[in-house]
Amino acid sequence: MVSPAVTPGSRSWAVRRSLTLLRVFLLASAVILVAGGFVLSWMLTSALYRQSLADAGSSLSQYVDGVLRPQLVHDDHLDVSPNLPATIDAQLRRDKDLVTVKVWRPDGVLAWTNRGQQRIGHSFPLDGDLGETLRERKTTASMDDFSDADSSESGAQAEDAVEHELGLSHLLEVYTPLLSSNGKRVLGAYEIYADPRPTEAFVTSRTHMIWMAVTAVFLVLYGALALLVRGASSTLQRQSASLRARTQDLLASYQRLEESSLEAIESLNATVDAKDPYTAGHSARVQRIALAIAEQLGLPPDRLDAVRYGGLFHDIGKIAVPDSILSKPGRLTDLEYAVIKRHPSGGADIVGRFGRLREAVPLIRHHHERWDGNGYPDRLAGEEIPTEAAIVGLADAWDAMTTDRPYQRALTMDEAASEVRTGRGTQFAPHVVDAFFAAYRARPAVFEPDPAYPVAVAG
C-alpha cells in the first residue's frame, strides 16, 4: 500500500505559486503594453511629423513654382528681371502661410526675394540645406529656430537677417530645386519661409488622436488580458478547492483502508499466536520489551514506531509454518528447522505489502541475525544488522527463554539474564545488551512474563 504522494499542503503551495505567477504575468504584461504603446505612439507621431513637413514643403513648393516660374524662367534659363511686376509679392501672399520667398542661383547668389530686396545680388556660401538642395536636387522641409539666432552673424545666417527681425521664434523652412522643363538641369533653388502654426496645429491634433487611439487599443488589450487572467485564476481556485476536497476524501479513505489493513494484519498475527498455546501473548510481550530497550537507547519517534510494529509482527511469517512443526514437543529435524528459518523472510514479504508498515520490514526480516554472522536468513554480522532488528531479536530471545516451550522449560530471570550476558558480542549486539540491562534495572516489571502463563522460579 502506498501513501498519497501529494499532500494538501504541497498542493496548496503549488496553487498559490500559480496564482502568484498569473499576477506577475499580468503586471509584466501591463509594463510591456505601456512600453509598447509609448514606443508605437512615438514612432507614429514622428512619422506623422516628418510626413506633415514633407507634405507642407511639397505644397508650398508647387504653389511658389507655379507663381514664379513664368516670371523667372525663359528658355530654360533663370532670367530675373530687375523690374518684376509688383503684383508677384501680392500674388505670393495670397497663400497666407507664406512669409518670405527667395530665389537662388546655382552659384549661391540671391537672385530675387519678396522681402528685404536689398539682399538681391549678394553671394552667400552654399552650405547647409541650400547646398544640399542644389547638389542633390531634392526638396527639404524643416523648422528653423530663430529664438537664439543673432541677426548680425555672417555667412549663411546673415542672409536670414530679415527673417530674424520678424520676431518669430521659428518658421517652416523649405528648400526645393528650380529645375529646367526637362528636369535635367538645376536652374536654381527656392527658399521658402512659411508660418508653421497650421502645420503644427495639424500635427498636434493628429498626435492627440494617435495617442488616444493607441491608449484606447492597449487599454482594451490589457482589459481583455486581465479578464482572461481573472478567469484563469478563478478556474484555478475552483479546481484547487475541488482537488482539496477530493484529496481530503482520498486521505480519509486511505486512512480507513490503512486502519482496516492494520486490523487485518493484527488479526493474522493473532492467528499465529493462537496456533501455539505455549506462545500465546508472545508478540505483545516482545513488543513491550523491545520498546523499553529502544527508549533506553533514545531512538527518535519514527524509529520507535518501526520497533513497535516490528516487535508485534516479527513472527507473522509463521502463518505459513505447519502446526505440527510449531507445536512439536521434541527436537526439530534439519528439514523442519529449515522451514522454521523461512518465517522471517516470509513475514517481511507479508508486511512489505502495507505502506504503513514498510519501516518495520527490515526488523522482521533480520530479527534472527546474529552479531557473529551465524544467524538467518541473510547471515548479516555486526553493524550490518539494523539496530532496531537487533533490539527485536534480543526481546524475542528473552521472552523465549523466560516462558515454557514444548521443547524446554522456562528459565528464571537470573538465568535468562546470564544467558544474555553470555551472548553479548556473539548472538546479541553489545550496545543493545547494555541498553537492555539499563532498562531492566529501571523498569524490571516490563521484562517479567505475564502472570497468566507459567514462569519458572529459581530453585
175: Cα separation from own chain's centroid: 59
- Would residue 158 be called left, alpha or beta, if left means φ above 0 and alpha means ψ between -120 and 50 degrees? alpha
Q: How far, in Å, are 76, 199, 282, 344, 433 from residue 373 at the CA level? A: 122, 104, 25, 16, 17
For residue 193, which of 141, 264, 157 has the smallest C-alpha distance?
A: 141
Cα–Cα distance measured from residue 274 to residue 31, given in angstroms and rounded to the nearest whole number? 76
| pLDDT score for 99 | 87
pLDDT digits (tens, 9 = 90+) for 88-125: 777 777 777 888 899 999 988 988 888 888 888 888 88
**Per-residue cell: 305:** 514506531
For residue 268, which of 211, 339, 319 has the smallest C-alpha distance?
A: 319
Query: Who wins on pLDDT, 111 or 454?
Result: 111
pLDDT digits (tens, 9 = 90+) for 298-321: 999 989 999 999 988 888 888 888
Cα–Cα distance measured from residue 5 to residue 3, given in angstroms and rounded to the nearest whole number? 6
Please compute the mean of the pLDDT values over residues 248-270 and round it to a whole number. Answer: 68
For residue 368, which of 336, 346, 335, 352 has the smallest C-alpha distance?
A: 346
Residue 269 has pLDDT above 80, yes or no: no
Q: Helix, strand, or coil here: 226?
A: helix
* Domains defined along the chain, listed by start: 30-205 (3.30.450.20), 276-447 (1.10.3210.10)
| Bridge partner residues of 144 (DSSP) | 171
CB 458 within 8 Å of CB 412: yes
Cα–Cα distance measured from residue 399 to residue 402, given in angstroms and rounded to the nearest whole number? 5
Cα–Cα distance measured from residue 68 to residue 80, given in angstroms and rounded to the nearest whole number? 10
Q: Do you find a cis peptide bond into 377, omega within 30 degrees of 0?
A: yes
| Bridge partner residues of 104 (DSSP) | 110, 189
CB 360 within 8 Å of CB 309: yes
